[in-house]
Structure 1
Amino acid sequence: MKDALDFDDVSDNIADPCYLENCMCEDRSEEYEYLYTQLVPSDATLQRLPFIVRDFIVGTEDGKVAQIDYMHNQCNFFFSKADAPVTAIETHAEKPYLIIGYANGAISLYNYITRDLIIERTLEMETDKTQEDANAITYIKYSPESLHLACGRENGEIYFLDTVVLTAKTMPYQITKAKVLKLAFSLDNIYFAYYDENSTVVLMRYCTKVARWVFFGKIRSHYKPINDILFSTYLPSRFFSIGEDRYIVEYDILGSNNGNLEILNRERIEQTAIPVCFIYNPPNGNAKSEYFFVSDNQFKYKLIHDVTYMCQSVRLGPAYGCYKDSSVKKMDFIPQHDYRYLIFANDNHIGIQKFPVDGNPYKYVGIIGHPTRIADFRLCHDGKFLFTFGDNDPCVLMWSINVTSVEIMEKLGGVELEPYYCLIDGGMQGWLFKEMQDLFYYMQILHQGENTVLPRIVTDQIPVAELPDLMRACGFYPSEYEIENMIVDARYRDYAETKALNENVSFLDFVKMYINHRPAHGIHMDTLKDRFETFCLAGEGATSRSIHAESFVTTICERGEMFTASKAYTCLATLMHAIDDNEDEVNRNFTFLPEEITFENFLEEILGMDMERQPTDDENPIYLEEEDEVC
């Protein structure tokens, strides 16, 4: 072979048509074969034969995926290595940047459009070797406009980092030693707050003179775990928290000093449900939003005023099908679409819900997000992508958001009451819907008077005050607290548009309110038994399994919500068919009650439930699902 022979030159000449036309066709296959033999790698045999394959992709056990370039003998990784599970993520407010925190204390900054790793840092490692998880990054948060970047760790340390280079600006703050659960910044970037695993709330303030964050105060304001914290979306900044104790707490930012964070307001916003997360309701035009949008563990959304703490509306959230096992744990609005779409996540699913929420099951769509529990999610700055990660998972998933899907689903659901028939037992032709129509008309008769000689006026409206009795007639027995929420919901339903209170309710609104306010999945027998045992323990001389009749009546009238003896007599006597209209009200007694009330005779004798009887097909289908379930 000639020394001047070069494989690249030969390849270029062969590709030239003029060269092929004018040259002499000389057989040089042996030379090319020799060239390939010298260029390609050899296998591991004694003969060292050429190893010729196409480019291929390999995956490793620790999650690495790479392309093998056969000709150049190179390994090009598709994904950067993940040496530990992902524990926190955050997106930049203006750039296509995604920050990922890991259980080993590492932080990575990615460009999620080009999929490039920009920089990676590892925070200072914990010197105490007994605390293996102390290095884990538990939460990362950009401030508005991404002026600040804060990072919380398992051991309670708070780092303030450079927003791009990820270097620590100061030494870490360790005000508490428990796991940091969530961070939050105020709208004006002046205040920073977080809470830890021990339900301690910490507030810090940015001092412009020294250009650093200064500890402002801390407090343990909830006697049960905290579920969420939030700064107001308007100025001056206000700061709130909600917890499993069902309280919302507002902190006195201006009145706190000397390391003590003072409480400005403390209000109970739930009776039986537990608030899980809350955000501010989208603003109405140019007006600021004054309502919290709260999700609870009973599959309900609630609008609560941030000054009066009055519950203005109750709406059913995702509660059926694949969503029935877990309520909404986290939610956020997409601001790019005028806040008309809500991104939500429960334990395993992520979804889009069209706003405003009205209980329509066709106004949301979702998909399984992770095989394990979804730990958290973040929206990108332009609202096009969603990022999620799961428990003990080294991967972050990037989702493309398509709001058209929920628009199509809403159109498929129909108009007026058509989307709601699937939430009523038997649908449009079922017994319950027909019963609701009859009872709605009968309520008009009662309101006009049963024995009137005047012509009946049949309308599509009933007074708001008749709603509680109508709900009870349909099988939903609200408490006084729930009745108050229901009345407020009915009166303020159209207040934003009309600036006037409603005094009447239409049949369409009544059906929607019945679906939104009743328990999403009924009342399970185990729940009823637990509440009966709690009720027994509230009485004097009672055990967890039984209560004396006298103590039973006393507890009903004196504990919990206000309940008069006359009303208690009327309800109990009606249930046990022992009412006597001729009996003097002063001489009324409760001798018809069993002397010792247990859970079994409470169900059978007082509530009239025969759990052993097999109902027929014509009877209430709610009780046909399971013998141990009461709806």
Structure 2
Amino acid sequence: MEEQLETNNLSSASVESFSSSTSESLQRSGEIVICPEDEKSYSLSKKFIEELEKKKEEVETYNEREKNLTVASNILFEKSESIKDVKKRTGGKNTQQRSLFYPFCHLAVRVDNAPVLKPHTREFATKNFNSSHITSPFKLMRFIGYNPEVVVKNLTKALEFAILLTTGNLVLIYDYNSETHHELQGHRNRIVSTSTDAKGNWIASSDIGPDSSVIIWDAIRCFPVHVIWEFNKTGCHFVKLSPCAKYLVTIVKKINKPNILMISIWEWVHGEECPDVSVEINTDEFGSFKKVDFCYEKCEFLVVTTEKRVIFLTFEEVDSKKMLTFHYPTGLPQKNRKQIGLFNDSVFIRYSHMAITGTTTGQAVIWSDMSWNFFDKEPVRKACNKKNAFLNVQLDRYSIEQIFSIDDQVVTLNSKGMIFFYNQRLCVLHVIKALRGCNPAVNISFHLKKRSIEGSSLLVGESSKNKKKRARRGRDHTTSYIKNNKIDDLEKLHKEIKCWKKKEEIFDTRDFVATTTTGDIVYVNFSHDAVKFILRNQLKGVTCMDTHPNRDILCLGTDCGKLLQYDFTKKEVIMCKNLPLEDVVAKELGTITEDDTEINYIMGYVTDLKYEQGGHRLACGMKSGDVWLLNETDFNTIVRIPRTTFPIVKIVFSRMNEYFAYYDTYAHLILMNNKNDLPDYIGKIRPHSKPIADIAFSSKDDVYYLYTLGLDRYFVEYVVSECDRLGFIKINVYFRMELLGKGTCLYPDPSSRMTMLMFTETGKCRFINLETMHIYRTVQGPLLPNGVTYVKSLALPNQTECLLFVSHNEMGLLKCPVDGNPYKWVSHAAVSEEIEQVAIANHGKYVFCKGKNEYITMWEINIMPLNALEALGGKGGDPFSTLLAADPCAPSLEDVQELFFYCQVAHRGQYNEKAFESSDVIGACDVPSAFRALGYFMTDYEEDLLVDELVGDSNLNVTEVEVSFDKFIQTFVNHRVCRVSESAMKSAFCNLFKRIIPDYCTIGVEVPGVPIADFLYFLENYGDKFDPCNTYIYLRALIQPFTKLIEEEMLKKIELAKEYPFVDSKYYDFMPETELEVLL
């Protein structure tokens, strides 16, 4: 027999009223029966919460926080009351309420009625870390924009005004009262889902992509407490925390089966790496996934909503085995299935056996585990999650997008942004037709604490004075109230709203935060009938940006021809102006209507912004190929430069603003003379067969030079003054820089004016001598999966020279001089996707970063961690040797030492020499062969670069140069390719097969086998050729022992080497032709 429990949450009147109700009256009024919560489950969850919160720091609480929240809300909306008003309201009595209230007023308000609220600061374990960020090179200072695809959560409690939102790969707790934030950093990819418990103490977040994870955060300390690493390669698309924070639900897609969703439940506090139970659903049968909700009183009950079905899940333990019970509800009439529509959202109605689902047709389906006849016989019984269709009623004429159960109310949000409040009998209590001054709401989230009834001044009947005030503000855009009106006849709804009686009846509900269709976040205050903007989405459609060199201004360009100036210290847009595109379009193309969206889009799309060195002018590149030169103060047009029809990629000014150049997507380079008020056109050229990777200015003896780097692996030099004199662009030097990799960006070396740094896609940094125009040094760049695509120097005062670099979604610092030391650079995942724009402000103090999305983040730069990291790495070859230990494909340090010693004795006994003495140097001529023995097989071009680097500027022969062990380690680490990816191998073989079999050249396509004769023929004609001496060196280990003929020929070569000492020592050994023929 099931145990009947009596609830403490119901008054005797309510229980009596339910006992006397009949099935007929229920069916007539649509009444929902309130049933008690499960006492056993409540005690277990309460015990769990107590154990969980023992580890948390005790936060000071007050018995009257609900009442104090009203006062705090008054201050927030600039309607604060002074201490005198408080004394007057309390009668000046020294009550317990007063003793608790005045400490709050001391912290929250000023005595002089200043409307400033200073709530308690959020405490967390890493307070010192976040205040000075000693161990982090980047600290988030501002964020402009957020991800509207992730639902904004309300974390507002008593004395705490916060919301939870995401921007890229960051989770942000934003205090909308003090306009401060706490960032939760830990994800590498774009965050797609967040969730909180009922008290707002715990946060769950998930991302999708490589190295995805699910992280549980302590919201008070802002610190991760549990991480579920990549348990699914596709990432977790949805997370949901139970109200008691004990359970976690994750939704993932199966690999290679995107139509299969796996629903998993975790008891995450146990620290397991696998879920406790999982179940799979097929989206072809169930429709796309919508939401998951927990039962507030019994967290083991879940409801999963898909488009076509609602599923009730029960997580239970039977015989020490955890199980997940599936229940498909029945009772829906199949004839009216189209009338019901698709399901959108489901929620358990608190303190009852009911669950409710909103549909696309505006209907609400009620689910229950009790039948109609059950209420007359047994009004109270233990709850069960095997629910079936109980009732369906038409609640709205529009689609119900969201549905909530808040306290004793049911709240719905429809597709038009209207918010309906019902009691648990589904009688309308209150309607918000529109938010004053805002666009329609698409999401709402209620406060975590219930508002006190005494603190609410929102009444169903209003005085005439209040009505006049409301009429002056605009009645049509404010909230409207009705009293116990059923929603059966929607046509009468608006009439009854206007005709309600003056009988006063209190309507009380929690305040909430709403997100609008334009991305604005607003705070709706019921006690004052007010709407306040928390965050405005003013920067919609941002495509590029640049910072003013001398002011705290961030200039932003959009996709509609609009330019904005954003003051990042005041956090506001100070100027907004449109480019005069209509006049240009009308002059060149005639009258253009709004229907010509493609032309308007191309003409108004801003692709690049660049200030002059002094900041007096702003160059604006467009997708149409035009370049606008504007005045920086008011954005007035100075001149329009239409020299190409392809989108502008980058604009660069010379050091003294005397010249500027830009290039487009079709590899056109345009050079302009900027010495006069209006720039003069010099010339246009297409120097590369493939797109240009980067351009840069440099100066030698007050003569400007321009350099371009193309994806065709060529590096081109232009003498700017000569081009200006001739009136066209003339190429001065043109040579190929790479054979395998491609150059990605250029930047002048801060330590030498005669050197240009070139970063490659393989992660190397080449030093180009601008006088001799050759590569004289190669070092290892930042070890990141993608090459460096952007580099700029930070002119920090009284600090060591550093470079800011960008690689895909990573942003980092590189300390100068650049020597390949792995302890001299550090990076940070600044955005979740690829970084498109970077701008440095305040001479390197701040950096702005924009990804492919529209989110912009502002970071404060601190190089102290970089100095500490360099000191930690050590000196000499110690930092480089750590890379060998970290790479599983690299040889061990012991192997390198043995091979280094072997190189010293390799030639012993072959010719007369002095007595052998062990040392820490070897000949430079042995380094290439040693590198091949260590697994680095370089090309002839790379070997030439290596030999030139070892010889340097000295006039010594390669046989006379000696290399120490530390130098050997550094050179090996700087030159070797860390690892070759599988995709690179496939691409190489695909290119090879393209030459042999032109019809099969696509990666991923099954290619038939290539005949061995064709393969050898291809290698013989296109591969590197070796003379017999080199062949013997590479195959020396296979030719054992030496024959007499080999010894005779070897003596001849030794005599020849003595006569010609400049010959490389590798020619001392040689393979006789006769022996080679025998070997082959």
Same fold (TM over 0.5): yes
1:479 CA displacement: 1.9
Which whole-Å CA distance do the structure 2 matches of 1:9 and 1:249 have between them? 68
1:365 to 819, 823, 826: 826
Matches within 5 A, 1:160-239: 160-170=629-639, 172-206=640-674, 208=676, 211-232=677-698, 235-239=702-706
1-structure distance, mates of 2:1012, 2:1040: 22
Q: Is the 8 A contact 2:458 2:528 kept in 1?
A: no
Q: Which letter does structure 2 place at the counterpart of 1:142?
A: Y
Whichever residue aligns with residue 82 of structure 1, its letter is L
Look up the equivalent residue of 2:669 and give its one-letter code: V
**What is the aligned partner in structure 1 of residue 337 from structure 2?**
none
Q: Which residue of 2 aligns with 1:290?
A: 754
Equivalent residue number for residue 273 of structure 1:
741
Counterpart CA distance in 2 for 1:260 and 1:237 is 15
Shift of 1:438: 1.2
Counterpart AA for 1:566: P
**Correspondence for 1:83:** 540
Contact 1:573–1:579, Cα closer than 8 Å, also in 2: no
Which of 511, 516, 520 is matched with 2:974 structurally?
A: 516
Q: 1:43 to 1:119 in 2, by over 3 A?
A: closer
Provide the secondary structure at the position in 1 that maps to 2:977: coil
- 1:249 maps to 2:705: no
In the TM superposition, what is the alpha-carbon distance from 1:244 to its structure 2 partner? Answer: 0.7
The answer for the alignment partner of 1:93 in structure 2 is 549
* Alignment partners' CA distance in 2, 1:113 and 1:205: 35
Amino acid at match of 1:342: L
| Structure 1 residues 99 and 9, CA gap change in structure 2 (3 angstroms) | closer
Question: How many Å separate the matches in 1 of 2:642 and 2:727?
Answer: 14
- In structure 2, the partner of 1:307 is 771
- Contact between 2:458 and 2:508, CA under 8 Å: does it hold in 1? no
AA in 2 matched with 1:511: I
Superposed CA deviations along residues 379-408 of structure 1, whole A, max 9, x for unmatched, are 1132111101111x2221111112122223
* Closer/same/farther in 2, CA of residues 263 and 43 from structure 1, 3 Å limit: closer
Q: C-alpha separation between the residues in 1 aligned to 2:668 and 2:456?
A: 74
Distance verdict in 2 for CA 1:56–1:382, change over 3 Å: farther
**Whole-Å Cα distance in 2 between the matches of residues 144 and 586 of structure 1?**
66
CA contact (8 A) 1:248 1:268 kept: yes
Contact 2:1028-2:1076 within 8 A present in 1 as well: no
The size of the alignment, in residue pairs, is: 551
1:463 aligns with 2:923: yes
Write out aligned runs for 1:406-421 (5 A): 406-421=866-881
Partner of 1:342: 803
Give the TM-score normalised by structure 2. 0.46
Alpha-carbon distance between aligned partners in 2 of 1:426 and 1:408, rounded to the nearest angstrom:
20
Q: Which aligned pairs between 1:134-153 and structure 2 lie closer than 5 A?
A: 134=602, 135-153=604-622
- The separation in 2 between residues aligned to 1:554 and 1:35, in whole angstroms, is 90
Q: In 2, Cα distance between the equivalents of 1:166 and 1:579?
A: 82
Alignment partners' CA distance in 1, 2:822 and 2:521: 40
Distance 1:356 1:10, change over 3 A: closer
Q: Are the structure 2 counterparts of residues 400 and 11 from structure 1 closer, same or farther at C-alpha, using a change threshold of 3 Å?
A: closer
Alpha-carbon deviation of 1:143? Answer: 1.3
CA apart distance, 1:34: 9.2
Comparing 360-369 and 452-461, the one that deviates more: 452-461
Structure 1 pair 388–50 and aligned structure 2 pair: CA distance change class (3 A): farther
From the superposition, tell whether residues 566 and 386 of structure 1 become closer, same or farther in structure 2 (CA, over 3 Å): same
Is the 1:109–1:164 Cα contact (8 Å) retained in structure 2? Answer: no
Letter in 2 for 1:175: R
2:775 equivalent to 1:317: no
Q: Are residues 553 and 567 of structure 1, via their aligned partners in 2, closer, same or farther at CA, if it must alter by over 3 Å?
A: farther
Q: Please report how far the alpha carbon of residue 554 of structure 1 lies from its aligned counterpart in structure 2 after TM superposition.
A: 5.3
Q: CA, structure 1 residues 464+395, in 2 after alignment: closer, same or farther (shift >3 Å)?
A: same
Identity among equivalent positions (%) equals 23
Equivalent position amino acid for 1:224 in 2: K
The answer to whether the 8 A contact 2:711-2:743 is kept is yes
Quote how far apart the aligned CAs of 1:206 are. Answer: 2.3
C-alpha distance in structure 1 between counterparts of 2:1039 and 2:1015, whole Å: 17
Asked whether the 8 Å contact 1:292–1:305 carries over to 2, the reply is yes
- Say whether the 8 Å CA contact 1:492–1:502 is kept in structure 2: no
| Aligned-partner Cα distance in 2 for 1:433–1:10 | 73
SS of the residue corresponding to residue 986 of structure 2 reads helix
The equivalent of 1:436 in structure 2 is 896
Q: Give the structure-1-normalised TM-score.
A: 0.76
- Looking at structure 1, the residues matched to 609 and 904 of structure 2 have their Cα atoms a distance apart, in angstroms, of 57
Task: Say whether the 8 Å CA contact 2:921–2:962 is kept in structure 1.
Answer: yes
1:480 aligns with 2:946: no
Matched-pair contact (CA < 8 Å) for 2:802–2:813: yes
Alignment of 1:18-57 (within 5 A): 44-46=480-482
Instruction: Confirm or deny: 8 A CA contact 1:218 1:259 kept in the other structure.
Output: no
Pick the structure with greater CA Rg: 2
1:505 equivalent among 959, 963, 970 = 963
Task: Identify the residue that residue 244 of structure 2 maps to in structure 1.
Answer: none
Change (3 A) 1:222 1:43: closer
Paired amino acid for 1:504 = E
Shift of 1:369: 1.7
CA distance in 2, matches of 1:111, 1:242: 35
Tell me the distance in 1 between the aligned counterparts of 2:636 and 2:555.
Answer: 13
Report the Cα distance in structure 2 between the residues aligned to 1:14 and 1:306, rounded to whole angstroms: 77
Bigger Cα displacement from structure 2, 290-299 vs 257-266: 257-266
Deviations 1:535-590 (A, max 9, x none): 8689xxxx97655598567536xx7x6x4543465368658769985378455776
Aligned-pair CA distance for 1:353: 2.1
CA–CA separation in structure 1 for the residues paired with 2:521 and 2:647: 33
Question: Aligned equivalents of 2:601 and 2:691: distance in 1?
Answer: 21
Q: Distance in 1 between matches of 2:86 and 2:981?
A: 79
User: Equivalents in 1 of 2:646, 2:606: separation in Å?
Assistant: 13
Q: Decide which moves more: 380-389 or 351-360.
A: 351-360
Deviation track 1:399-457 (CA, whole Å, cap 9, x = no partner) reads: 111212222333343444443344215789x9632221111112122356567685421
Superposed CA RMSD: 4.0
- Structure 1: which 5+ runs fail to align? 1-7, 23-31, 496-500, 594-631
Q: Deviations over 1:137-162 (max 9, x none)?
A: 10000111113210001110110011
Q: Distance in 2 between the 1:59 and 1:590 partners?
A: 81
Report the secondary structure of 1:359's partner residue. Answer: coil
- Equivalent runs, 1:385-404 vs 2, <5 Å: 385-391=846-852, 393-404=853-864
Q: Conserved in 2, the CA contact under 8 Å of 1:553 and 1:568? A: no
**3-state SS of paired residue (1:45):** strand
